[in-house]
């Protein structure tokens, strides 16, 4: 057996062609050109790169982008004022606040200040609650991208035991809720789970979303499992150790080229959806 490679890069490229066509149809019908506003606070090189990748993706599908760069010294009040301005801007369909923000900023307050109809990154408490309850809402971009990837490759979720390793409010927790809504049986673990190896060993689907390089060992994962790695660390390694996995598991996301491209694609897709709803 050789693992099916869940190629997020190829899928994102294919979906961008569809999104470009959909933007064209929206404009031809007299609709508003979708525009994503990105907010970057500080000068972290990795965050700046991620923001630029999202801006570039907007351009590839024919959408506009509004980039807002703010200094490291920005206060919560200053950031809230910018978010309020973007909420009121009729040209902006979606708002992305790049995570993480400098430590002096109340990130949760700023996330929750984003208007629900413009929360295309799925970061608000209200959006999470609606999604978890199965109501219409934009899902957190990375879990939403993972769900699209699994659906594209016909990965069966109903009745399967999924173990999500990670509990962040924008990745682990919404990932677990989305899998639960898809009728999987879900266990949430994290870096302090005392029997992590035993929990992972029971999983039909393993999602690494803990943010620690190769915390999840290959030997823990059972034969035939589906392995989704949402981590990315210097050197191109993820949260899951890959040595020897490919011959044993049913499916596997590469790092890089698996989850990352689908995160951006979900963000762009949801920005278009926001424009279409208008």
As annotated, the active-site residues are 54, 98, 121
CA distance 184 to 163: 10
Q: Pick from 238, 241, 243: which is nearest to 260 by CA? A: 238
CA distance 174 to 202: 21
CA distance 193 to 165: 9
Token pair, residue 99, equals 């995570």
Any idea of the CA torsion for 226, 214, 131, 25, to the nearest 10 degrees?
-80
Q: Taking the CB of residue 124, how many other CB atoms lie within 10 A of it?
A: 21
Do 110 and 87 contact (CB within 8 A), yes or no?
no
Q: Pick from 27, 31, 36, 33: which is nearest to 118 by CA? A: 36
CA distance 174 to 42: 27
Order the strands of the 185-189 sheet from edge to edge: 4-5, 251-252, 226-229, 205-208, 161-165, 185-189
């Amino acid at each position: 057996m050789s693992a099916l490679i869940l190629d997020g890069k190829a899928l994102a490229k294919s979906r961008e062609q569809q999104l470009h066509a959909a933007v064209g149809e929206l404009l031809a019908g007299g609709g508003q050109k979708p525009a994503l506003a990105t907010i970057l606070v500080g000068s972290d090189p990795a965050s700046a790169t991620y923001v630029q990748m999202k801006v570039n993706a907007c351009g590839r599908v024919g959408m506009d982008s509004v980039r807002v760069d703010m200094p490291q010294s920005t206060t919560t009040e200053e950031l809230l004022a910018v978010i309020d301005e973007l909420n009121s801007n009729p040209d902006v369909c979606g708002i992305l606040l790049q995570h993480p923000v400098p430590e002096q900023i109340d990130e949760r307050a700023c996330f929750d200040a984003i208007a629900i109809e413009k929360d295309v990154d799925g970061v608000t408490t209200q959006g999470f609650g609606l999604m978890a309850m199965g109501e219409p809402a934009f899902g957190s971009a990375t879990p939403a991208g993972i769900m699209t990837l699994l659906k594209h490759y016909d990965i069966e979720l109903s009745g399967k035991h999924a173990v999500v390793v990670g509990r962040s409010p924008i990745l682990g927790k919404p990932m677990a809720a989305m899998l639960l809504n898809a009728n999987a049986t879900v266990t949430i673990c994290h870096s302090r789970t005392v029997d992590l190896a035993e929990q992972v060993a029971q999983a039909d689907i393993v999602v690494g979303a803990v943010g620690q390089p190769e915390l999840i060992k290959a030997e823990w994962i059972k034969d035939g499992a589906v392995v989704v790695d949402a981590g990315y660390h210097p050197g191109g390694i993820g949260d899951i150790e890959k040595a020897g996995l490919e011959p044993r598991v049913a499916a596997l996301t590469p790092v890089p080229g698996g989850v990352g491209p689908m995160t951006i694609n979900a963000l762009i897709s949801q920005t278009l959806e926001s424009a279409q709803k208008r």
